[in-house]
Structure 1
């Protein structure tokens, strides 16, 4: 009886292990994928159960018939019938076995490659719904009971300038007042000529995939002033380096010295007719303040402000 109990326990508590089933995915509709899991599961289930049933049958054949002969004969007949049915992949028992397995305790993983949609004008979150719908022979609706949603976030990209790469303060140092000669003062780190020249970098990243056209402009917002005093005729000059970019349709005024005029915008980069993402980078190699000799001068700490602007163009 111990061997019989063991055979029954083996049948009841079968562990089918983990299996990798390379089954092709079918595109059933725009939003529905289908996989014929039965093709892969059926041989695993039927062969294993057939072996367990055969073990049980062999043990039953060794038992004396005695008073339970009729019962044993009936059980043996049922076991033989099950073994025969499992050998037929189209039998009702085989089909139901796969259906019960899928709906009972089968985890299905379908590797999926997701491509970001092109031309997004704004960020988009796609809800990917997943679950198993068994369609072989059961009329059951599981669409309202899917296992859950997985949200995938698609960024529309952005247009941004790295303002932290621009110098926050230009210090041209302290100088005695004189009116006999023109003067050109360089901006040094900390305002000390013993330090390196103050430099900076223009860096713009445009990761959008929509049609785009924009301009980068710089303007000096006002004259050099110290309270009510005005350093008229003083001019800020900026030495631009070589432009680096992966855009195709653009123009720029790189590799030259530009002269700032108060309240006038100067276009540094002009981008047009492109949808590809990309970047623009241009070094600011030097900042100079030119003060003509005939400029009226008074003691003071003179300041002005530079405004960097990215503006969309038609």
Structure 2
């Protein structure tokens, strides 16, 4: 009888140990996807100022260049008397008496500057080209300022810290004259050309002076005007 009782107790203890083992945990899962979509931000010439767009970096500050300047809406060469000899005038910030090129240094604070800015946020990095054209000769109706030559002085070119400069740039200090055909119509000039992978972000090309050279004895008492077209494209 004692052996029987002892065996029964041992069996109960073994059963208790088996019941104490933990059950296998159940699991369940779900996946969340993350997404951000970029769209074409465009290829823009002379973009409006935007505090979210980092400025260009001036590698060597020069008071002759202003990368934050804009393309002028008007090139005003002032008022001058009819003259007999050839003269070169400079575009002014404000309307006033004409200033000749020979008097530039004494009137630097009165002269119009500018910049050609290109913003490439296309995301394609195809490159681009900036061109400009003087559409017609300076004229007042049928009265044409024959032989007048409009030009500007090229400044330096700079880009954002993360940008890559175009490989083709009009050299600093070049006097760029607008070509006109014999019929008085203009042809396009290429100022900058970015190849594939270049010119991403904001690039600025500074313009130091706008000049107008007029031959003597071709003008009458009148107001002569012309127009310029500035374009940027990513097509050849």
Q: TM-score, normalised by structure 1?
A: 0.50
Mapped partners of 1:275, 1:186: distance in 2:
33
Which structure 1 residue ranges, 5 or more long, are not aligned? Answer: 1-83, 103-107, 115-127, 129-151
Tell me, yes or no, if the aligned pair for 1:208 and 1:276 is still in contact at 8 Å: no
Structure 1 residue 175 displacement after superposition: 0.6
How far, CA to CA, are the matches of 1:169 and 1:89 in structure 2? 85
Q: Which has the higher helix share?
A: 1
Q: Does 1:88 align with 2:10?
A: no
> Which residue pairs with 1:280 in the alignment?
203
Q: 1:278, CA displacement in angstroms?
A: 3.2
Unmatched segments (≥5 aa) in structure 2 = 1-18, 49-69, 100-106, 181-185
Q: Displacement of 1:155 after TM fit?
A: 1.9
Answer whether contact 2:166 2:199 (CA < 8 A) is retained: no
State the alpha-carbon separation in 1 of the partners of residues 40 and 142 from structure 2.
47
- RMSD of aligned alpha carbons: 2.8
* CA distance 1:285–1:276, change in 2 (3 Å): closer
1:185 equivalenced with 2:89 (yes/no): yes
Compared with structure 1, are the counterparts of its residues 291 and 163 closer, same or farther at alpha carbon in structure 2 (3 Å cutoff)? Answer: farther
| 2:169 pairs with 1:252 | yes
Equivalent position of 2:193 in the other structure: 270
8 Å CA contact retained: 2:125, 2:200: no
5 Å-filtered alignment, 1:35-50, equals none
Distance 2:223 2:90 in 1: 16
1:168 equivalent in alignment to 2:63: no
Of structures 1 and 2, the larger Rg is shown by 1
Number of residues of Structure 1 aligned to a counterpart in Structure 2: 178
The ranges of structure 1 where at least 4 consecutive aligned residues each deviate by more than 6 angstroms after the TM superposition are none
Q: Matched residue of 2:94: which SS?
A: helix
Per-residue deviation at 1:157? 3.2
Write the distance in 1 (CA, Å) between the matches of 2:89 and 2:95. 10
Rate the CA distance shift 1:311–1:202 in 2: closer, same or farther, 3 A: same
Q: Deviations over 1:29-65 (max 9, x none)?
A: xxxxxxxxxxxxxxxxxxxxxxxxxxxxxxxxxxxxx
